[in-house]
Structure 1
Amino acid sequence: MSRPVDSPARRSQPTLKTIAQMTGLAVTTVSRALNDAPDIGQATKEKVRGVAKSIGYRPNRAGVRLRTGKTNVIALVLSSQQDVIGHAAQLVYAISDELKGTPYHLVVMPYAPDTDPLIPVRYVIETHSADGIIFNQTMLNDERVRLLTQENFPFSSHGRTEMGISHSYVDYDNGAYADLIVRELVRRGRKNLVLVPPPLIQSYAHHMAEAFRQTCAALGIKGAILSEFSADHDIDDIRAGTFAALQADSSIDGIISATTAATIASVDAAESSGRRLGHDIDIGSKEVSNLLRVFRRQLVLVREDTTEAGRHLARALLQQINEPDAPLVCNLSVPTAADILPGTPNG
């Protein structure tokens, strides 16, 4: 039985030389265009990428690493216990989308919430398995920031620290969010609020809790933080804990939440306790995916653009990798009254 004759395309994969021949450019120019070199014009980059895509060119990662020392990989380090219907999913999508058209690919590295978050970071540094790292759940004193800075390893964090270390970050001003949502609930007549906080070890929880306390005190209303559990707990635990608080204090008329899952659990707890949204109680939350607007129109929601945050994180990290002497990118998104989404008013 005769063997089928392979076509040239099947016998060998297209190479940089193939693209060079098809475009009339030097191999080095093709390589630099595919690697988004700043001294290569945009028209040339688009021409090279178009040809590469049309012929199915894929870089040989082993060869790239030998020639450049780069992996063309970005590692996104996430806890496996995440608000997957909110922040984490949006971050993965946004970073992946931002990397389109670049030589970089995203690898998500999950770690168990009961393990040391330094473990995946050390692994990437020691194995040189990525050119840069993005991580979230940043803490005020974060050993990942310290280690990556000491190793001079490119990274960008979703969240700020208070360590006296300059580093790239993208953050949402959760203090401004807490102040904004407390004032909005008070405007609607609420006088006894509780906060379902993120884990208080995380920096955004610290900013949120401090502003919640300060604004409640400034406005002369009651405000309590439900510290027995956090917004990262199992949704059944959040529901049970919030329900218990509502049963223990019938005067609670407002709940502020930190995540989509915690908000859904809080709504169930409030309704199970006999309270009506927009009448007996208001629940405020950040909205990252438009899910909550559909879930309950009576919710008081403040927009947080996690997709844009993911894009900024990717851009900040790529700049560190490609322009190591450029100033670090630090981006803080501050919500205002214009970010309060319209819903169904009290009535």
Structure 2
Amino acid sequence: MLPPADRVPHLPPDSEPERPTLKTIAAATGLAVATVSRALKDAPDIGEETKRRVRETAARLGYRPNRAGVRLRTGKTNVIALVLSTESDIMNHTSRLIYSIAAALRGTAYHLVVMPFFPDQDPMEPIRYIVETGSADGIILNQTKADDPRLRYMQDHGFPFAAHGRSAMGIDHLYYDFDNEAFGRLGARALAERGRKRLYLVAPPRSHMYASHMIHGFTDEALRLGLPFEVTDRVTSDAGGDAIEAAVAARFAEPDPPDGLLLGSTTAGMAAIAAAERSGRVLGRDFDVVAKEAVPMLRRFRQDILIIREDVGRAGEFLARALVARIDKRDWTERQGLEVPVTVEPGG
């Protein structure tokens, strides 16, 4: 039986375990408080072995920075916001991007918050909210446009950001991009080398900057090769698998169907193959497919797919580290990066 409430012993306040602080970590490691603080902030002048020792000690002691105190003292939130469209290829591209950014921030003072926006939502809405409320120190975003009001808004407000993609606005900002023009050219050449005579591209939404790069590379290379081609306007590579499969199946039911397909996403590649196979065609014999992927999975679907890989992990790491350096006002030589694909992995 429990004792009456008035007889329950109460621990004096000073018996509560103290929350670990920078001084606690400094005492445990034998380092100065300033060194511990800079190590936790991933400062470039602190050695990697020291950083590792400080982080391991902080984790063992259960150290967590007091967010409210940090914000009052520095005006910072120690939060990076990743703003993503819900239309992204979530099972492949987006999941890898989230993981790589989170991994790059691991062990630093910064934490990742993912903020989605929906197809019927103004893309400016989450950007304005973050900037106006100061709920993050910086923003990473993707699916940039040639003239992107989100980038201009953040630039005008002096708000730190990094983009997975480029624009044509003349703004000098942090970015990392995949060379989709090279992807289009590589894909068209690979299909031509397989003897394909009618090329077909399922591209990203035309409003996105990388779609114009991909379409230009594909069409220019097809013209150079003297091959007929088409860029479908029935569906985009960002559409769901069902929509892509239906659109490609409809095209295969029409006269002179394509025999060489270039797909801008993993989902589109799998859906296009399913559509062609429904018409009785065999991959590698009657048609070929070149698809882009960020996480290895297409070979488990069909061995004969031609694959161009995109290192989204490298992109996420680059964007996270460059943005943190910008927020912390540290020199960072790599402000912009471009991954240029050079090979197509053969099937089978």
TM-score normalised by the chain length of structure 2: 0.93
Please give the residue correspondences for 1:80-119 in structure 2 after superposition, counting only pairs within 5 Å.
Answer: 80-119=86-125
Partner of 2:268: 262
- Per the TM alignment, residue 226 of structure 1 is displaced from its structure 2 partner at its CA by 0.7
Residue 205 of structure 2, aligned match among 181, 195, 199: 199
1:159-188 per-residue CA deviation (whole Å, 9 max, x = no partner) reads 110111111110000000110010010000
Contact 1:94–1:311 (8 Å) recurs in 2: yes
- Per the TM alignment, residue 47 of structure 1 is displaced from its structure 2 partner at its CA by 3.2
Q: Partner amino acid for 1:310?
A: G
Contact 2:325–2:332 (8 Å) recurs in 1: yes
- Per the TM alignment, residue 288 of structure 1 is displaced from its structure 2 partner at its CA by 1.4
Q: Distance in 2 between matches of 1:177 and 1:53?
A: 43
Partner of 1:127: 133
- Which runs of no fewer than 5 residues in structure 2 stay unpaired? none
Q: Partner amino acid for 1:156?
A: A
Match of 1:207, SS?
helix
Matched, 1:185 2:199: no
Contact 1:167–1:328 (8 Å) recurs in 2: no
Q: Distance in 2 between matches of 1:70 and 1:132?
A: 10
Match of 2:338, SS?
strand
Choose 60-69 or 31-40, whichever is displaced more: 31-40
Partner of 1:341: 345
Residue 245 of structure 1, aligned match among 224, 247, 251: 251
Taking a change above 3 Å as real, the CA distance of residues 308 and 328 of structure 1, as seen in their structure-2 partners, is closer
Partner of 1:59: 65
- Per the TM alignment, residue 285 of structure 1 is displaced from its structure 2 partner at its CA by 0.5
Choose 258-267 or 14-23, whichever is displaced more: 14-23
Q: Distance in 2 between matches of 1:188 and 1:293?
A: 18
Q: Distance in 1 between matches of 2:311 and 2:171?
A: 26
Q: Distance in 1 between matches of 2:259 and 2:141?
A: 36
Runs of 4+ in structure 1 off by over 4 angstroms are: 3-10, 324-328
Please give the residue correspondences for 1:9-20 in structure 2 after superposition, counting only pairs within 5 Å.
Answer: 11-20=17-26
Contact 2:147–2:167 (8 Å) recurs in 1: yes
Matched, 1:146 2:152: yes
Q: Percent identity?
A: 49
Contact 1:320–1:328 (8 Å) recurs in 2: no
- Which runs of no fewer than 5 residues in structure 1 stay unpaired? none
Match of 1:276, SS?
coil
- Per the TM alignment, residue 45 of structure 1 is displaced from its structure 2 partner at its CA by 3.0
- Per the TM alignment, residue 311 of structure 1 is displaced from its structure 2 partner at its CA by 1.0
Match of 2:236, SS?
coil
Q: Distance in 2 between matches of 1:43 and 1:251?
A: 60
- Per the TM alignment, residue 304 of structure 1 is displaced from its structure 2 partner at its CA by 1.2
Partner of 1:277: 283
Contact 2:201–2:231 (8 Å) recurs in 1: yes
TM-score normalised by the chain length of structure 1: 0.93
Contact 2:322–2:332 (8 Å) recurs in 1: no
Match of 2:51, SS?
helix
How many residue pairs get aligned? The number is 342
Q: Distance in 1 between matches of 2:15 and 2:255?
A: 73
| RMSD (CA atoms) | 1.9
Q: Distance in 1 between matches of 2:31 and 2:334?
A: 34
Match of 1:86, SS?
helix
Contact 1:178–1:208 (8 Å) recurs in 2: yes
